[in-house]
Structure 1
Amino acid sequence: MSTAIDVRRTRVDLPTTGTPPTHPRLLAWLDEVVDLCQPDAVHYCDGSEDEWAALVAELETKGTIIRLNADLKPNSILARTDPDDVARVEDQTFICSKDERNAGPTNNWMDPDQMRRIMTPLFDGAMAGRTMYVIPFCMGHLDAPDPKFGVEVTDSAYVALSMKILTRMGAEVMARMEEHDADFVPALHSVGMPLTDSMTDVPWPCNETKYIVHFTDDRVIWSYGSGYGGNSLLGKKCYALRIASVMARDEGWLAEHMLILKLISPEGREYHIAAAFPSACGKTNLAMLEPTIPGWRVETLGDDIAWLRFGADGRLYATNPETGFFGVAPGTSYATNPNAMRTIEGGNSIFTNVALTPDGDVWWEGMTAEKPEQVVDWKGRQWRGVGGPVGGRPDEKAAHPNSRFCTPIEQCPILSDDYHRPEGVPLDAIIFGGRRENTIPLVTQSRDWQHGVFMGATCSSETTAAASGAVGVLRRDPMAMLPFIGYHVADYVQHWINMGRRSSASALPKIFYVNWFRRDADGRFMWPGFGENSRVLKWVAERVDGKVDAVETPIGYVPAPGGLDVDGLDISDEDLAGVVGYTETEWRDEVPRIGRWFDTFGWRLPREMVDELRALETAFGRAPSRM
């Protein structure tokens, strides 16, 4: 329902702070937004430290945030959300392409005109009683050959603060947009809780009705009802993946859910690697890896999103369009990811839905071996002893399972200097991976680009109890992009195939598939993971250079005996053989599962993927799938 507004005000009528833009198309859009949303004031964000301090003070007064101990977490804050606003809302996330067929089977679709008829009344007066923040931002380097601009308009100061960490934003971006009269993605966000005369504000405003909408043909984003990061920080998944994937399809590049790292050998040889994993598969841990093998080093370029473009030399270059980490807190520790912890220790961070210790620091499950004697949990309840909250259940968590840290990437102690290269870094390898307790070996190299695309298109993971309540349910997640592909999944796979035709095989990155999560018959992990995964990265690097042999199998190249460096590793010959190898029985079961997955693509399934599946069916004696 729209909010009754007795006298509608225009942008020029409103109190204003900051410097208004001169960009004509932006001003025209802002006039439309003010006319629709009817805020009480407008603030034009400049990204300054003074602005940060003012917004923090405002949120502290409202009770939205708590300042942390400046000696332990300098210039950092803790926010607690409404208990019903804690994660991305995939069921209310829509791709509104003009043609339903272009959304495909993996997206929720609605006709754009119908969606506008639903959402326009929701936005009507939605910002009454609130300040409208105008956030100009750039995804990627400002000096990139083709910088991608956006402007988010929001009634959430929390969003404005978070965007300062995660994107290049503010006065410098606005000046560049005005200089070039640049195109931009308009991104409209409201928490959906207008403050009329009869309403009292709450620390975390939101609305039961939520929509996260992408008008992909027009490159427009609308988000309503949620203040949670994945739904409200519109430069991240909404722009940098869903909208950008459509841009990339049309412009001949790739927008991917990938980390980027630099691996450095003892001799100083550098390898740039991008890797795509579904959730709960260790993407951030790999991005900030501390290798256990002597002389090898890893440097970080990004942990979540990579944009891939061809350079003039025919190589595929990767850039990280973000400037910060938006990481899941639980499970992050000095044991699992010491570099993430060191990054966080630098402060300048926003923590959301973690626990608060008596000395004004943060805590979450998995950070330390022992739980603190006293904490205040993510719902603001006092915990005493090692049990649950006072008056609550003993099995509750002090930090929400999806609690987050939002931290500047510049604080990462192993940040690569290459992060600052506007053109990005040339990729030597692309790695796909998933969480499988059987079937999939520790590491496999594709035969060629097409086979590598097949590996990515069939990427799969078993759910964990924390994720869904049902353990071991297999979920296909093509290129780890299932929730983020902005168009038909079959066309997306075809675009990957087409990208490989634009350069020579020698210039393209080699493609690999990894699985850190193989278990034995007793349910025990057979591979130690974490820092030991550097041994797999070493094998990848040596395969790129042609320095180590591999065994060709129907599923790709696997390490030859003795090919994987396990010196100093406490692993039995039986476990090593089990984790590196595969069994025909398991793959005879896997092949029809892949066929059923490809059935969902419909007639658009690329012929090349059918050919790859047919080769597997022949190798493992399975009847051909109906396609």
Structure 2
Amino acid sequence: MLELKKGEEILATVGGIANLTEAEELFAKTLDDANRKKLQKITNQDALIKIANAISICTPDAVFINTGSEEDVEWIRQYSLTKGEEKKLAKDRHTIHFDLPQDQARLVSQTYYIINEGEKMSSLAKSVLRTEAIDYVKQFMPGIMKGMTMIVGFYSRGPVGAEAAIPAIEISSSGYVLHSAELLYRNCFSDFDAEAGRTGLFYTNLHSEGKNRPEDVPNARIFMDRSWMTTFSTFCTYAGNTLLLKKGNHRFTVDYATYYKLEEQLSEHMFITGMTGPNGRKTFFAGAAPSGCGKTTTAMAGTDFVGDDLAQFWIDSDGILRAINPEKGIFGIVEDVNREGDPYLMDCLRGDGTEVIWSNVLVKDGVPYWVGNGEEAPKRGVNFQGEWFQGKTDEAGNPVPMSHKNSRCTLLASAIANHATELAEDPAGVPVKVITYSGRDADTMPPVWVARNADDGVVIGASIVSKATATEVGATGVRRQPWANAPFIPGALADYMQAQFTFFNSSKFSEKTRPIMAGLNYFLTHENRGSEGSGLLGEKKDVKVWLGWLELFAHGDVEAIETPVGFLPRYDDLVTLFRTIDKDYPKPLYDMQFALYVDKILERIELQKEAYSKEADIPARLFDIYGRQKKELQVLKEKFGAVVAIDDLAG
């Protein structure tokens, strides 16, 4: 169980500001008249004391209060340019930011939850005791902003007033971080007091890059204090480690939903997008996938794109699943973004009129280039490791790519042509009919399958596996990625799983409103399906077919083939859908994609059972479902062999 406000509050312990009077005395000494006047519009005492303690610890030369006005946002842009955190590119409002070579992805081995003695944590989470975290903050953070300006921003993680939206404060010495925040989150300076009062809580995020030197990165830490909903980040600039409104606050919201909003809310690592079905019908999807596994591409394949990374859920009074995107922008991986697979995003990246912050790509004559963009590559330029030329190798003799695998673009989602901006900004959220889960699976599961019931759907989410991706420093190999949310689940995995079973089985849903739950897999390969070909058994644009079939199935417009792992599509329905994207769909390809490789699936079930057996208090329901699936699969194997043809399943 998570207990809020338990243990010493680190900001207050190290900062020494105990009350509003002391806070105001410090503001009088450290803020100029203009910024003090702006801050006087915030009346939440807890917020003011936290800001004062951040100032007391970090001792910046100046403090800038960002109200979200165009004048303030422009000041942030210019501050970032003046500091050299960003540089202008050829296109207007396009800039480039380079992180240190050691800091270009999430620092997973240096990211910790701050916990109190005796608290149960996810076995997949790294934790540090509160006393150790206090020692670190006392050693490394006093004076960390000397010579810099502290910027303080107030944001809402979701449309202001939405049931699942929570306000947050972002404090940083980095202009790049606050510039990114303005593109990714809704500035709620004028609504902060009301929102903090409505929700009864807010998040606090404190970051400084220090002197931004390679030798400091080993001392970098990303700390998340679960009890006080406060994050600390030092000696790094990569936005996944520093823009703590994003994954840091997502972690807090997962915690809050699990322990304080059971059956009421969920916080998920999911895209939100809408598909247009027959007669203009709009059906909204939310889907989980680990970073680097096609989540943004899937989101943008929809006709009504809402978000590409995070989703907050609740069940409304009519029993309808509602979702909001806590973000208003995109912090997207650009590798392999090209005209064929991502036309709407490419219009923003190569067209005029969109503000974009690029990170860790190649720049030549003020133009950004990246691996997989489908364009002719320059032979030299400047990239994430400095001067670059074709054929360059690193110290180990490995080729240095044109752009880092985790290079990013940051922009407003509303700039994208298929973005459903009005719906995305509606506090009522969008009605979600389909939930999907996907990973990076080359040899086991078919491209799409639907759970037979809510419990089986939860198990699909619990069973995601994926290759480690470039979004994480120091992570390798193929590993389990439960719900694609595992790095962001602070508490016991059993508690999170029980929250999933409770939510999706809620009696608030009717059979008509309960969402369907499905698996997606874009990564089957020819070599793993008995083909003489090479590479993937499909391409990016096939995503529209798999989502299109799910849209039809969710409304009862198509029948499916029932199997031990769920419902599979019929060939004739897919052929029709492939025609809508101007592709043929040969029957042999369908046969390869949807055959059940029973031994592979049984191996996967055993892998999951063994792993979850090591976790305390995992709901028995999970093992019951694995047991039932295993038994039914063994019956199929006895009847048809280790590889069961889809035609045998169709009967």
Q: 2: distance between equivalents of 1:424 and 1:207?
A: 40
Name the structure 2 match of 1:320.
Answer: 325
8 A contact 2:80–2:174 mirrored in 1: no
1:12 paired residue among 14, 19, 28: 28
Name the structure 1 match of 2:274.
Answer: 262
Does residue 590 of the first structure (1) align with residue 604 of the second (2)? yes
Q: How does 1:152-301 map to 2 (within 5 A)?
A: 152-169=170-187, 171-174=189-192, 176-177=194-195, 183-193=201-211, 207-239=217-249, 241-249=250-258, 250-251=260-261, 252-289=264-301, 298-301=303-306
Name the structure 2 match of 1:342.
Answer: 347
Using a 3 Å threshold, how does the CA distance of structure 1 residues 210 and 556 change in structure 2: closer, same or farther? same
Q: CA deviation at 1:101?
A: 4.5
Q: How does 1:394-433 map to 2 (within 5 A)?
A: 395-416=399-420, 417-433=422-438
8 A contact 1:22–1:178 mirrored in 2: no
2:358 paired residue among 351, 361, 377: 351
Q: How does 1:591-610 map to 2 (within 5 A)?
A: 591-602=605-616, 604-610=617-623
Instruction: For residue 513 of structure 1, give the secondary structure of its aligned residue in structure 2.
Output: strand
Name the structure 2 match of 1:198.
Answer: none
After superposition, give the CA deviation of every residue in 1:453-484 in whole Å (9 maximum; x if it has no partner).
0110011123469979999x431111111111
8 A contact 2:108–2:474 mirrored in 1: no
Q: 1: distance between equivalents of 2:623 and 2:227?
A: 29
Quick one: which amino acid aligns to residue 354 of structure 1?
Answer: V
Q: How does 1:60-71 map to 2 (within 5 A)?
A: 60-69=81-90
Q: CA deviation at 1:181?
A: 9.8
Quick one: which amino acid aligns to residue 128 of structure 2?
Answer: M
8 A contact 2:122–2:489 mirrored in 1: no
Q: 1: distance between equivalents of 2:142 and 2:489?
A: 30
Using a 3 Å threshold, how does the CA distance of structure 1 residues 57 and 391 change in structure 2: closer, same or farther? farther
Name the structure 2 match of 1:197.
Answer: none
Name the structure 1 match of 2:639.
Answer: none
Using a 3 Å threshold, how does the CA distance of structure 1 residues 179 and 554 change in structure 2: closer, same or farther? closer
Instruction: For residue 386 of structure 2, give the secondary structure of its aligned residue in structure 1.
Output: coil
Q: 2: distance between equivalents of 1:203 and 1:47?
A: 30
Using a 3 Å threshold, how does the CA distance of structure 1 residues 14 and 396 change in structure 2: closer, same or farther? same
8 A contact 2:109–2:474 mirrored in 1: no
Q: 1: distance between equivalents of 2:417 and 2:233?
A: 35
8 A contact 1:80–1:204 mirrored in 2: no
Name the structure 1 match of 2:336.
Answer: 331
Aligned length: 592
Using a 3 Å threshold, how does the CA distance of structure 1 residues 462 and 394 change in structure 2: closer, same or farther? closer
Name the structure 2 match of 1:625.
Answer: none
Using a 3 Å threshold, how does the CA distance of structure 1 residues 269 and 204 change in structure 2: closer, same or farther? farther
8 A contact 1:365–1:399 mirrored in 2: yes
Q: CA deviation at 1:419?
A: 1.2
Does residue 305 of the first structure (1) align with residue 318 of the second (2)? no
Q: 2: distance between equivalents of 1:516 and 1:454?
A: 19
Q: 1: distance between equivalents of 2:118 and 2:232?
A: 18
TM (norm. structure 1) is 0.88
Structure 2 residue ranges without an equivalent (≥5): 1-14, 16-21, 636-651
Structure 1 residue ranges without an equivalent (≥5): 194-201, 290-296, 623-627
2:632 paired residue among 613, 619, 627: 619
Does residue 487 of the first structure (1) align with residue 494 of the second (2)? no
Name the structure 1 match of 2:10.
Answer: none
Q: CA deviation at 1:431?
A: 0.6
Q: CA deviation at 1:140?
A: 0.4
Quick one: which amino acid aligns to residue 621 of structure 2?
Answer: E
Instruction: For residue 129 of structure 1, give the secondary structure of its aligned residue in structure 2.
Output: coil
Q: 2: distance between equivalents of 1:22 and 1:335?
A: 51
Using a 3 Å threshold, how does the CA distance of structure 1 residues 40 and 463 change in structure 2: closer, same or farther? closer
TM (norm. structure 2) is 0.85
After superposition, give the CA deviation of every residue in 1:476-516 in whole Å (9 maximum; x if it has no partner).
11111111112111211110001123233432110010111
Q: How does 1:459-498 map to 2 (within 5 A)?
A: 459-463=464-468, 473-498=477-502
Name the structure 2 match of 1:199.
Answer: none
Q: CA deviation at 1:598?
A: 1.5
8 A contact 1:82–1:206 mirrored in 2: no
Q: 2: distance between equivalents of 1:119 and 1:480?
A: 31
Using a 3 Å threshold, how does the CA distance of structure 1 residues 577 and 468 change in structure 2: closer, same or farther? farther
8 A contact 1:526–1:579 mirrored in 2: no
Quick one: which amino acid aligns to residue 27 of structure 1?
Answer: L
Quick one: which amino acid aligns to residue 96 of structure 1?
Answer: I
Instruction: For residue 399 of structure 1, give the secondary structure of its aligned residue in structure 2.
Output: coil
Q: 2: distance between equivalents of 1:401 and 1:514?
A: 23
Q: CA deviation at 1:205?
A: 10
Quick one: which amino acid aligns to residue 608 of structure 1?
Answer: R
Using a 3 Å threshold, how does the CA distance of structure 1 residues 121 and 307 change in structure 2: closer, same or farther? same
8 A contact 2:196–2:202 mirrored in 1: no
8 A contact 2:105–2:472 mirrored in 1: no
Quick one: which amino acid aligns to residue 613 of structure 1?
Answer: Y
Does residue 533 of the first structure (1) align with residue 543 of the second (2)? yes
Indicate the percent of aligned positions where both proteins have the same amino acid.
26
Instruction: For residue 163 of structure 1, give the secondary structure of its aligned residue in structure 2.
Output: helix
Q: CA deviation at 1:523?
A: 6.2
User: C-alpha root-mean-square deviation of aligned residues, in Å?
Assistant: 2.7
Q: 2: distance between equivalents of 1:35 and 1:75?
A: 35
After superposition, give the CA deviation of every residue in 1:111-159 in whole Å (9 maximum; x if it has no partner).
2233222223321222122111111111101132353111111111111
Name the structure 1 match of 2:519.
Answer: 513
Q: 2: distance between equivalents of 1:210 and 1:468?
A: 13
Q: CA deviation at 1:230?
A: 0.5
Q: CA deviation at 1:578?
A: 1.2
Q: 2: distance between equivalents of 1:170 and 1:491?
A: 32
Instruction: For residue 235 of structure 1, give the secondary structure of its aligned residue in structure 2.
Output: coil
8 A contact 1:382–1:389 mirrored in 2: no
Q: 2: distance between equivalents of 1:335 and 1:546?
A: 31
Name the structure 2 match of 1:27.
Answer: 48
Q: 1: distance between equivalents of 2:299 and 2:513?
A: 24
Instruction: For residue 243 of structure 1, give the secondary structure of its aligned residue in structure 2.
Output: helix
Does residue 556 of the first structure (1) align with residue 566 of the second (2)? yes
Instruction: For residue 279 of structure 2, give the secondary structure of its aligned residue in structure 1.
Output: coil
